[in-house]
């Protein structure tokens, strides 16, 4: 599984990355986590408000910080 955190490096983006890494580690999920900060790459996903969580090239959550439980649900469905 490939997970991308889209965001220019703002506090919300860093929080999303931190929570996502914790969920992956705590649940033994096999995943590669990549931080995408380039605004042109972010725009290719059609994301206008960050942070965003992309799983296997599909935008799952954007424009807010989800709970750890919500991230877990997205990653384990």
Choose, from 13, 16, 53, 75, the residue flagged as catalytic: 13
60 near 51, Cβ under 8 Å? Answer: no
Choose, from 10, 39, 43, 48, the residue flagged as catalytic: 10
Q: Which of 75, 73, 66 is nearest to 19 (CA)?
A: 66
In the annotation, is 48 catalytic? no
In the annotation, is 10 catalytic? yes
DSSP characters over 39-67: HHHHHHTT--SS-EEEETTEEEEESS---
Active-site positions read 10, 13
């Amino acid at each position: 599984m490939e997970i991308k955190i889209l965001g220019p490096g703002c506090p919300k983006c860093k929080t999303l990355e931190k929570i996502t890494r914790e969920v992956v580690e705590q649940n033994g999920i096999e995943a590669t986590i990549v931080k995408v900060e380039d605004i042109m790459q972010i725009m290719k996903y059609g994301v206008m408000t960050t942070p965003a969580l992309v799983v296997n090239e599909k935008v799952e959550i954007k424009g807010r910080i989800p709970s750890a439980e919500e991230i877990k649900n997205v990653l384990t469905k």
